[in-house]
Chain A
Amino acid sequence: MKLITVSGPPSSGKTSVILKLIDSLRESGMEKIGVVKFDCLTSFDQIRYKEAGIPVEIGFSGKVCPDHFFISNIEDAVRWGVKSGFEMLITESAGLCNRCSPHISEIPAVCVIDNLSGVNTPRKIGPMLKFADYVVITKGDIVSQAEREVFKFNVRQVNTGARILFVNGITGQGSFMLAKHLSRAVDITTLSDMHLRFTTPASVCSYCTGETRIGEEFQNGMMKKMTFTPSVFYKDTEEIEEPAEKGGVEA
């Protein structure tokens, strides 16, 4: 079975691209394809996959980072895929935490981003884009050629080695080339001995574990503080009301 990981910011067109990709794969004779969707709280994607006759499983990470959640479940997903006799298993994960990425070293990694998200967005996305083998750019149908070219240039800045493809998630234009690339993926039966391409940082502060109260004394574990420099409107320090004493305000 071939495994493909697809990630990308919310609403960038992942599901649309995967559906068109599967159309193209089916046309070339690949029949048994399954999808696993990893999301945070809710998702409507399963409906679209089912409508297209694609077996789909869905997992919600809840309060865990979706990529951490992905990593702890991907082995089981592969087992599910192998048992189902899939020729290809595609995972879709909404990259909500720009610091992590679900890409695994030997597995083709696709990152989907859209042309509407602003010129500098590729430069801000992080490992999910940086460590992808294929960067798929969607929604090119509604922006100018020039913007597509500039956008691609900015993707190239962040990921110098990736194949960059334009796919229209609505008409499927371009999905055909993506299918050609991805059908060259190696077959696997397990992920043991494979590694992530990038360390996913542990986030274990008190808020990770359910704290809701705001204030210094509630902050434990890995905390990072910003430094603020006086703005031009800063008043003399004496005039500024000192913050209420710690714990002085009753919750």
Chain B
Amino acid sequence: MTDFYDLAEKKSVGEIRKLYPISGDFFDNMNLSALAEDVPMADALEKSDPEWLQELGTDTDGVLEQFCEFMEALTSPQEETALIREITIVGGHDKNGMPEKAELTVKPGEVISIVGPTGSGKSRLLGDIECMAQGDTPTGRRIRINGEFPDEETRFELEGRLVAQLSQNMNFVMDLSVRDFLQMHAKSRFCEDPESVAEQCYACANDLAGEAFDISTKVTQLSGGQSRALMIADTAYMSSSPVILIDEIENAGIDRRQAISILTRQDKIVFISTHDPMLALSASKRIVIRNGGIAKVMETTEEERASLSVIEELDDTIMRIRSMLRAGEQIIPGHFAVPAAASSDEA
């Protein structure tokens, strides 16, 4: 680990800024932008306005100490999560206290869908995964990480870093362009080359979005579909969280199949709570929730996978009609021509 005291003794503010661009934030935060840039930082501090430091409730030594803490905390990617090899959901009980017999282990690159009526407990299951429940949530479920029940310390450690979330009602609120936004995120993730990561992310988002957008667009001005596309690309390329929880993003106006495949290619574990047949069946397994409990875990069968292509065609038809409506065209029955198989074998 770098000795930042030594750095402050030997290098000027200008040199430190060059070596560690992040240090600029420290000087901004402390409103120390007027520090002399050409003498070692420690000396510059000695010469700075003591009254200002006093108003910050500190002195030269205090600033140096805070500088070192800041640099230590922010120059190492300490937020990196330990390797997750698998996650296991160990069943608890449903809303009536009836035990769930489920035990399900999921590995990176796998997609699991969660289906069930509204209010049945799909979001609750996502919540259990997020907080690594240990029999201490209403469902009594327990989560194993890499085969072990995490102890309290590990749970605290992982808190907020295990999962990234994506849901229908999320918006961008920052007043930044797509480029600045992505670079800012990359910077906070200690990416080596924030600019190219941002470019890569932008290209991917643009691929996913139905309508293309410019990299200089303000994130707050993106359409719902464009926002969702950017969120997915960003999660795939920049989030450090190994697990992604997606809560009902059906009508997002993005290429959902591609979205899922981008996430799994980045070796994420993906859980999707959904009512969308295409999303549900694109998972390798699906968890069926009834009355708060896991009623069963189903493997997606060959037959189901085969029907997926029919469903995809149906979906494409809907998409096509949607874009025709958008374009101000007239809709005629011919547009609904779908393979006979789909309409004839109703269950």
Q: List 29 A-B contacts (CB under 8 A).
A: A118-B175, A119-B184, A123-B25, A141-B169, A142-B171, A144-B170, A144-B171, A144-B172, A144-B227, A144-B230, A145-B231, A145-B239, A146-B181, A146-B234, A147-B173, A149-B188, A150-B184, A152-B160, A153-B188, A156-B73, A157-B26, A157-B29, A157-B74, A160-B69, A160-B70, A165-B160, A166-B160, A177-B131, A177-B159
**What A residues does B148 contact at CB under 8 A?**
none
A50 at the interface (CB under 8 A from B): no
* Chain B residues within 8 Å of A, Cβ to Cβ: 25-26, 28-29, 55, 57, 69-70, 72-74, 127, 130-131, 136-137, 152, 155-156, 159-160, 164-167, 169-176, 181, 184-185, 188-189, 227, 230-231, 234-235, 238-239, 241
How many A-B pairs fall under 8 Å by CB?
A: 98
A66 within 8 A of B: no
Mask of A164-201 contacts with B, CB within 8 angstroms, 1/0 = 11100000011011001100000000000000001101
For A, the interface residue count at a CB cutoff of 8 angstroms equals 37
A173–B238 Cα distance when bound, in Å, is: 24
| B171 x A181 contact (CB < 8 A) | no
Taking CB atoms, residues of chain A closer than 8 Å to B55 are: 201
Residues of A within 8 A of B175 (CB): 118
Q: Bound state CA distance, A143 and B164, in angstroms?
A: 12
Chain A residues closer than 8 Å to B165, beta-carbon distance = 145
Q: B188 to A150, Cβ gap below 8 A? A: yes
Whether A142 contacts B169 by the Cβ 8 Å rule is: yes
CA A21 to CA B160, docked complex, whole Å: 17
Of B131, B136, B174, B176, chain A has the most CB atoms within 10 Å of the CB of B174
Q: Is A116 an interface residue (CB 8 A)?
A: yes
Given A123, A142, A146, A199, which contacts B238 in the complex, CB threshold below 8 Å?
A: A146
The answer for the CA separation of A143 and B219 in the assembled complex, in Å, is: 12
CB distance from A202 to the nearest CB of B (A): 13
Is A71 engaged at the interface, CB distance under 8 Å to the other chain?
no
Whether A163 sits at the interface, judged by CB under 8 Å, is yes
Residues in A neighbouring B167, C-beta threshold 8 A: 141
Contacts A123-B28, A127-B57, A181-B156 given; does A145 touch B234 at CB 8 Å: yes
